[in-house]
Amino acid sequence: ETKLNKIKINTIKDQLIIKKSEKCKEMSNYAKEIKEKIMKTIKDSIQEATSKNFRELHWKAKQYEKVTIDDNFSLSIKNKFGGQIRDELSQGAALCFGLAFMAALRSYSEYDVPIIIDSPVGKIDEGNRENIARNLPQQLEGNQIIFLVTGSEYKDIFKDLLEKKISTKINLSYNEKLEEIDIN
């Protein structure tokens, strides 16, 4: 009778362990579903914002049909004929695409650190310079943006549009006599 009771107790314990294991699997699957839904929502929001931002920043954005972000957050862009062209973008389009994605990530994350952008318009045409100066500060509104620009970049429409939005302007110049940088 004692042996029989031990077997019954072990059987009940085994059944409880099996039920707990099944419940854990069920909860794990439920958690995975929730994670996938959350990640899809995040990805879709960032994809939509990246597409919107890109259309505002790049002067020929109408030539591009669709911006997509895959599950690993890799960006792609298709032309109006449906062809994948991310690796074929001009320097200006690639810069606008990168800035659009960065602004979308930044606005979604609300992570509050200064944004430092080196040579934001160095090798791009006037149309993109104007769009970046006009739209990027709005896309990153409420964030500190630090543009590191050369004199050749900080001119014309780019300078005119940013001038009223700048709170602090610092000029760095190299002093050849002292072999150091002067800050003005």
Q: What is the pLDDT of residues 127-160, one digit of tens each?
A: 888 999 999 999 998 888 998 998 888 888 889 9
- In this prediction, residues 4-14 reach a mean pLDDT of 84
Contact 76, 113 (CB under 8 A): no
- pLDDT score for 35: 94
DSSP code for 107:
H
Tell which phi-psi region holds residue 142, choosing left (phi > 0), alpha (psi between -120 and 50) or beta. left
Strand intervals (E) in the chain: 64-69, 75-79, 115-118, 145-148, 172-175, 180-183
Angle at 114 (CA atoms; ends 111, 115), nearest 5 degrees: 95
Percent residues over pLDDT 90 in the chain: 39
Interval 19-76: pLDDT, tens? 999 999 999 999 999 999 999 999 999 999 999 999 999 888 788 888 888 888 888 8
- pLDDT score for 164: 85
Q: What is the mean pLDDT of the chain?
A: 88
